Amino acid sequence: MTTLDRLSLNQWTTRTWSVAEAADGCVRAGIPAIGLWREPVAEYGLAASAKAVHDAGLRVSSLCRAFGLTSGTGDLDDSRRAVDEAAALGAPCLIVVAGGLPAGSKDLAGARARLADAIGELEPHARAAGVQLALEALHPMYCADRAVLSTLGQALDLAEQWPAESVGVVVDTFHVWWDPQVTEQIARAAGRIASFQVCDYLDPLPADLLLGRAMMGDGVIDFRPLVRAVEAAGYTGDIEVEIFNADVWAADPDEVLATMTARYLSEVL
Amino acid sequence: MTTLDRLSLNQWTTRTWSVAEAADGCVRAGIPAIGLWREPVAEYGLAASAKAVHDAGLRVSSLCRAFGLTSGTGDLDDSRRAVDEAAALGAPCLIVVAGGLPAGSKDLAGARARLADAIGELEPHARAAGVQLALEALHPMYCADRAVLSTLGQALDLAEQWPAESVGVVVDTFHVWWDPQVTEQIARAAGRIASFQVCDYLDPLPADLLLGRAMMGDGVIDFRPLVRAVEAAGYTGDIEVEIFNADVWAADPDEVLATMTARYLSEVL
């Protein structure tokens, strides 16, 4: 592969842009797909967002996200609405971020059990809507505050309780690059990879740990072994670039897309 | 257990104290064991340190550490000297912290292979000295800069290449609490647990990620399931409290020991 055929812009990478601006930016940069977030979609309007990406000729690679199924900061009704929004946008999958420990709780096992229960509650609605739930393991440094789902293997242990059509997993290079089991767990994920997200991992991390994601090539990740493993698992879908980074957000979004396409070709493919 | 019989002070917890001051502090607090560090031991003198802890009637639970076997910041000769120092101090084990990626490198697999090679080089010297190498998996957030050994399972995969008498593992609650496999990996570690270290995990973490360790009870870890798992694996050795925390270091060390013994009884046992 030497083209942008599978490249997708996760819109949080250019978060100052509206949905329509991001769609136009993708067209200018030759990027054929976009990963949407609920907040900017709500701001632009659900129907208007669907029309904007459709008129631009873009695929929607994912919708972010259902959140907080363990910690009391999210709820199932909101997650069902997120499924409906994914369906309305033509997104094949909804990213699910587990949530961390409830405030004051130390009951990690209980939080993980609640997550499994919540997926079980949500799955029939997702199946009926034709939207795959994409369970995202987050780096273990977020276990307390954002996601008790900490490894790809753990995500697969959970996802495998349901059909792959309704519950898949996310492979995100930032979250899994360190994992000694990553190669075997990606192989195990064959047929169940709902989303493949790439970005680099900064060393040292910034004080705000959420902003340690970086443009490919600016961190410590060797992408190609991970990309090859995902391809060997049969995944042929979009490769979404999702970057939370203060410098990237401060830059001209068109320049971000220019760098992103260049780095995608030089570092990822 | 309701006594301090197995409690050990890792001396970095009271790092403003010399070896002799820490030994005296342990005696005053009724703490029967101490984990030493090479830097304060060198400052006080190897023979004088051995005499100070012996005269105080303390067990030495461990010596920290061999470091940087992957990243070029440590070397094998220095690690062999660390083994000799552990033997001279009567420490049953030497903590081994792998090291991260060499500057500019993205070759994680290569770094992990170099670590295995280095342990293989070091093991005959450790065996001859009667010192067990204690391989410490560090939390994955340190993978790039401090330890490519990231999980207890990975540490066991490595340690099991040698006899348990010469290569064991560390179970450190801060590093393993998030791991979905922690219970089964602790069980697997039966007969190979060289050191058990406890401290809590702060949420949120401070900007300096090294200082996220906290007094038991001040973070998110539920200690008892981990303690029970370690005991079920047959470990009856010392339980070492190792805290890197700016507030703890700024406090009166005698007060730190008073809090530490109280929290050990209320949170750990």
For residue range B25-57, list pLDDT tens digits in order: 999 999 999 999 999 999 999 999 999 999 999
- Can you give the pTM of this predicted structure? 0.97
Residues 53-72 of B with CB under 8 A from A: none
Instruction: Give per-10-residue mean pLDDT for chain B (269 aa).
Output: 89 98 98 98 98 98 95 81 98 97 95 95 97 98 97 98 98 98 98 98 95 98 98 98 97 98 97
Is A235 among the domain residues? yes
What was the pLDDT predicted at A73?
60
Chain A residue closest in CA terms to B105: A220
Is B1 among the domain residues? no
What was the pLDDT predicted at B152?
98
pLDDT > 90 fraction of chain B, expressed in percent and rounded? 97
User: Do A140 and B144 make contact, defined as CB atoms within 8 angstroms?
Assistant: no
Is A2 among the domain residues? no
Which of B101, B139, B141, B216 to mutate to probe the A interface, most A CBs <10 Å?
Answer: B141
For residue range A182-231, list pLDDT tens digits in order: 999 999 999 999 999 999 999 999 999 999 999 999 999 999 999 999 99
Residue A243, SS3?
coil
For residue range B237-265, list pLDDT tens digits in order: 999 999 999 999 999 999 999 999 999 99
Which of A105, A108, A179 to mutate to probe the B interface, most B CBs <10 Å?
Answer: A108
Q: List chain A residues with CB under 8 Å of B150.
A: 178-180
Q: List chain B residues with CB under 8 Å of A205.
A: 141, 209
Domain that includes residue A66, residue range: 7-268
Number of domains in chain B: 1
Is the ipTM, as predicted for this complex, more than 0.90? yes
Which of A220, A263, A266, A267 to mutate to probe the B interface, most B CBs <10 Å?
Answer: A220
Q: Which of A109, A178, A220 sits opposite B106 (nearest CB)?
A: A220
Q: Does B153 touch chain A if contact means CB atoms closer than 8 Å?
A: yes
The DSSP-derived string for A9-75 is: EEGGGGTTS-HHHHHHHHHHHT--EEEEEHHHHHHH-HHHHHHHHHHTTPEEEEEEEEE-TTTSSS-
What was the pLDDT predicted at B73?
60
For residue range A147-160, list pLDDT tens digits in order: 999 999 999 999 99
Tokens linked to A269: 């493919």
CATH number at residue A106: 3.20.20.150
User: H-type helices in chain A, by residue range?
Assistant: 19-29, 38-44, 46-55, 76-89, 108-129, 152-159, 173-176, 182-188, 223-232, 246-250, 253-263
- Nearest Cα neighbor of B199 from B189, B219, B214, B184 is B214
Cβ atoms of A148 and A70 within 8 Å: the answer is: yes
Chain B residue closest in CA terms to A143: B178
User: Do A141 and B139 make contact, defined as CB atoms within 8 angstroms?
Assistant: yes
Tell how strand B200-201 and strand B213-214 pair up: antiparallel
CA gap A10, A7 in Å, rounded: 10
Cα distance from B259 to chain A (closest Cα, Å)? 20
Q: List chain A residues with CB under 8 Å of B220.
A: 101, 106, 108, 144
Is A141 among the domain residues? yes
Q: Which of B108, B141, B201 sits opposite A222 (nearest CB)?
A: B108
Task: Identify the segments of chain A with pLDDT beneath 50.
Answer: 1
Return mean pLDDT, chain B.
Answer: 96
Cα distance from A178 to chain B (closest Cα, Å)? 6
Cα distance from B242 to chain A (closest Cα, Å)? 19
What was the pLDDT predicted at B75?
82
Sign of the dihedral defined by the CA atoms of residues A129, A75, A109, A37, in that order: positive
Residue B170, SS3?
strand
Cα distance from B9 to chain A (closest Cα, Å)? 25
What was the pLDDT predicted at A75?
82
CB atoms within 10 A of CB A29: 18
User: Do A106 and B178 make contact, defined as CB atoms within 8 angstroms?
Assistant: no
The DSSP-derived string for B220-245 is: S--HHHHHHHHHHTT--S-EEE----
Is B124 among the domain residues? yes
Residue B139, SS3?
coil
Is B200 among the domain residues? yes
Q: At what angle do helices A108-129 and A76-89 cross, to 10 degrees?
A: 40
Is A95 among the domain residues? yes
User: Do B178 and A108 make contact, defined as CB atoms within 8 angstroms?
Assistant: yes
Is A112 among the domain residues? yes
Q: How far apart are the first and last CA of chain A?
A: 6
How many Å separate Cα A185 from the centre of its chain? 18
